[in-house]
């Protein structure tokens, strides 16, 4: 296809140089970095051959754009272009002498515009790809980056463009299809891609950061560009696709706005030029009454995740803030003790910290339960971080957390989003080891009775002692066949204390290991150590909760028993397992 002819028609319709290249279907970033020179080179080529690859235009043929280049100031032409007579570049008669391989009738003497640079605002992109619109955008981005103080050497950029550009692109594509049956009206290069290759490349120099893809760069800069007549221009689509918009209007509660990108694309799907002319009364692209303007810039950094394990030493500390009807029940929590130094590092106020720091853990312990050993795995998600803490800062955070005396964290390390999936999975699959301080409340069935008493007189623990036979009975107890991996199979109804947040169910749970030992100097006490699967309610197993858990510790002991204190001795989850992932090396 003769690219020169396509450019000629685009210019007649009022397209800018970058949009002319878009309608050629080119997806070569270097072509968009200096669109004017690229278009000049194509139109100066007497053969009119297609330009489709990086080698079609040599670096020395494209002038390096200046950072302070503004619209209306011509860039220097390349040496090759400068060597040609100016009439070859600025008049159309010589350009039309090229062979016409596209099938478009070039016999007319209708000239190309004398200047290759389109005058006014582009009818397709509404000025988004025109350089005179860029300095304001650059300054807005630079101001936002300086305000948020990101320490990230790379960035990706995204565009929120007016929806009316979809309609305008379709009209021009159909005009080209009408002029040349061989033209592929689906070959248009997306506006956002051309914008990244042109505007984004220049923005990188202005903000002194490297432009990268959104899949690699953690920092995303989004420009919101609006066009005053956006919704007004889209009204013509109601005549083109009345059924679609009548249905959207009838479902007003479901659809918050009448025109969305998807609804406009649906209305234009399969639309023909004849339909637009007859139903929507559109013969050409709507006139441009104003240039699209950047109204806001949003900068966001990908979340940062810090992982570690905490040891909880207090029996009066909930894992997360404990509020009842808006009233705080405890002075602090594990979450707050861990998050406060992190919030201070990122200079976050109380409200910002609540929204930007998210605490996650592999399960939780009750407020009166300690978590000892290697601690419980946890992670902190930091939304929109300005930077990644150094190793020294991570060590300092651990020291500040541990200084509370209630919680200790030995190591903090960056983790990935994939690691979080392992953390949450471990909550449902991990095994835990508990140590219970229990009290024997009544004589065992085979205890010898004193001469002055009976079994009933010993009820309540008076004179009751844990015997060697009691310990041996617990250590030998099982209700599963020999060789089974589990020692005890439990049937537990949802405890009353958690019914407000858990459904009423009977759950089968397993105790994998069970052992007991006496407490010297305290005859009625014994320490029980159990290893259980995830989801076992150990307190309820100890006291039975009026038969809601069967069997209970008392069935192994042969006497009534209750629990006085509980510790988590080990959480069997190898997490976090590795150092900082490479994805954060560029932070």
CA distance 19 to 15: 6
CA 42/CA 362 separation, integer angstroms? 62
**Statement to judge: residues 469 and 563 lie in one domain:** yes
Strand 323-324 versus strand 327-328 pairing type = antiparallel
Instruction: Give CA–CA dist 250/240, Å, rounded.
Output: 18
* Any domain includes 143: yes
Q: Mean pLDDT, to the nearest integer, of 339-367?
A: 96
Could you tell me whether strands 210-211 and 154-160 are parallel, antiparallel, or unpaired per DSSP bridges? parallel
- Do 51 and 192 share a domain, yes or no? yes
Same domain (yes/no): 365, 391? yes
C-alpha gyration radius of the chain:
37
Question: Which of 251, 267, 300 represents a domain boundary (last residue)?
Answer: 300
Q: Domain check: are 60 and 47 in the same one?
A: yes
Same-domain pairing of 415 and 477: no
Higher pLDDT, 99 or 51: 51
DSSP codes, 332-377: --HHHHHHHHHHHHTT--HHHHHHHEEEEESS---TT-EEEEEEEE
Q: Residues 129, 49: one domain?
A: yes
Cβ atoms within 10 A of the Cβ of 121, count?
Answer: 22
Is residue 258 assigned to a domain? no
Final residue in a domain of this structure, among 429, 459, 488: 429
Q: What is the pTM of this model?
A: 0.77
Domain boundary among 429, 453, 485: 429
**Band of pLDDT at residue 425, cut at 50, 70 and 90:** confident
- How would residue 253 be classed by pLDDT, with cut points 50, 70 and 90? low
Residue-range definition of the domain harbouring residue 51? 3-236+282-300
Instruction: Supply the pLDDT for residue 448.
Output: 57
Dist CA 157 CA 3 (whole Å): 30
Find out whether 444 and 469 touch, Cβ atoms under 8 Å.
yes
Residues 170 and 309 in one domain: no
587 located within any domain: no
| Judgement on whether residues 474 and 540 belong to the same structural domain of the protein | yes
pLDDT above 90 for 345 = yes
Is the same domain home to 462 and 542?
Answer: yes
- Same domain, yes or no: 170 and 114: yes
Question: In this predicted model, what pLDDT tens digit does every residue of 180-191 receive, in sequence order?
Answer: 889 998 899 999
Q: What is the pLDDT of residues 362-406, one digit of tens each?
A: 999 999 999 999 999 999 999 999 999 999 999 999 999 999 999
Closest alpha carbon to 298 in 141, 138, 136: 141
H/E segment holding residue 390: none
In the chain, the number of structural domains is 3
Could you give the CA distance from residue 576 to residue 562 in angstroms, rounded to a whole number?
36
Q: Collect all residues with Cβ–Cβ distance below 8 Å to 277 and sequence separation of at least 6.
A: 283
Q: Are 381 and 438 members of one domain?
A: no
Of 86-100, 319-333, 413-427, 497-511, where does mean pLDDT reach its minimum? 86-100
Is 215 inside a domain boundary?
A: yes
Q: Cα(515)–Cα(61) distance, rounded to whole angstroms?
A: 83
| Structure confidence at residue 460 (pLDDT) | 47
| Alpha-carbon dihedral sign for residues 251, 253, 259, 264 | negative
- For residue 563, being part of any structural domain is answered with yes
Cβ–Cβ < 8 Å for 65, 37: no
- The residue among 278, 275, 10, 35 whose CA lies nearest residue 123 is 10
Residue 141 is encoded by which pair of tokens? 């981005």
Give the span between the Cα atoms of 340 and 353, in whole angstroms. 8
Q: Mark whether 371 and 436 lie in a shared domain.
A: no
Q: What is the pLDDT of residues 270-284, one digit of tens each?
A: 888 888 888 777 767
The number of beta carbons lying within 10 Å of the beta carbon of residue 255 is 15
């Amino acid at each position: 296809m003769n690219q020169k002819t396509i450019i000629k028609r685009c210019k007649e319709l009022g397209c800018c140089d970058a949009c002319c290249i878009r309608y050629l279907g080119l997806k070569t970033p270097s072509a968009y970095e200096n669109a004017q020179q690229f278009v000049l080179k194509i139109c100066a080529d007497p053969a009119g051959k297609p330009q489709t690859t990086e080698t079609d235009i040599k670096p020395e043929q494209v002038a390096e754009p200046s950072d302070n280049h503004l619209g209306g100031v011509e860039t220097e032409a390349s040496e090759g272009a400068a060597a040609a007579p100016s009439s070859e570049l600025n008049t159309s008669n010589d350009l039309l002498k090229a062979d016409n391989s596209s099938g478009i009738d070039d016999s007319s003497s209708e000239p190309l515009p004398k200047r290759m640079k389109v005058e006014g605002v582009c009818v397709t992109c509404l000025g988004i790809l025109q350089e005179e619109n860029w300095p304001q955008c650059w300054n807005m981005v630079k101001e936002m980056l300086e305000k948020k103080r990101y320490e990230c050497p790379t960035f990706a950029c995204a565009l929120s463009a007016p929806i009316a550009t979809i309609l305008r692109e379709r009209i021009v594509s159909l005009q080209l299809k009408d002029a040349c049956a061989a033209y592929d009206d689906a070959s248009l290069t997306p506006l956002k891609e051309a914008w990244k290759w042109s505007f984004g490349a220049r923005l990188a120099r202005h903000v002194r950061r490297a432009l990268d893809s959104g899949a690699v760069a953690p920092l995303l800069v989004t420009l919101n560009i609006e066009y005053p007549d956006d919704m007004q221009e889209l009204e013509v689509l109601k005549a083109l696709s009345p059924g679609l918009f009548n249905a959207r209007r009838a479902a007003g509660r479901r659809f918050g706005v009448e025109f969305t990108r998807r609804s406009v694309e649906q209305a234009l799907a399969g639309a023909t030029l004849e339909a637009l002319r007859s139903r929507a009364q559109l013969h050409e692209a709507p006139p441009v009454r104003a240039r699209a303007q950047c109204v806001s810039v949003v900068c966001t950094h990908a979340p940062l995740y810090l992982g570690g394990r905490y040891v909880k030493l207090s029996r009066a500390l909930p894992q997360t803030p404990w509020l009842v009807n808006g009233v705080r029940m405890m002075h602090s929590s594990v979450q707050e003790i861990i998050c406060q130094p992190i919030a201070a590092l990122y200079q976050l106020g109380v409200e910002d910290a609540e929204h930007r720091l998210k605490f996650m853990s592999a399960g939780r312990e009750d407020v009166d339960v300690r978590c000892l050993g290697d601690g419980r795995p946890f992670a902190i998600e930091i939304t929109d971080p300005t930077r990644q803490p150094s190793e020294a800062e991570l060590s300092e955070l651990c020291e500040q957390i541990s200084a509370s005396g209630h919680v200790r964290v030995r190591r903090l390390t960056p983790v990935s989003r994939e690691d979080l999936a392992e953390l949450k999975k471990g909550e449902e699959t991990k095994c835990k080891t508990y140590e219970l301080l229990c009290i024997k409340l009544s004589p065992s069935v085979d205890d010898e009775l004193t001469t002055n008493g009976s079994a009933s007189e010993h009820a309540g623990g008076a004179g009751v002692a844990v015997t060697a036979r009691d310990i041996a009975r617990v250590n030998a107890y099982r209700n599963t066949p020999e060789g089974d991996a589990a020692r005890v199979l439990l049937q537990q109804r949802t405890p009353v204390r958690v019914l407000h947040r858990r459904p009423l169910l009977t759950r089968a749970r397993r105790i994998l290991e069970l052992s007991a030992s006496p407490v010297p100097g305290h005859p009625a006490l014994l320490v029980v150590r159990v290893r259980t699967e995830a989801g076992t309610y150990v307190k309820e197993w100890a006291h039975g909760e009026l038969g809601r858990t069967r069997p209970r510790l008392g069935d192994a002991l042969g006497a009534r028993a209750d629990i006085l204190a509980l510790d988590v001795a080990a959480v069997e989850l190898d997490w976090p397992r590795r150092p900082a992932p490479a994805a954060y090396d560029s932070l």
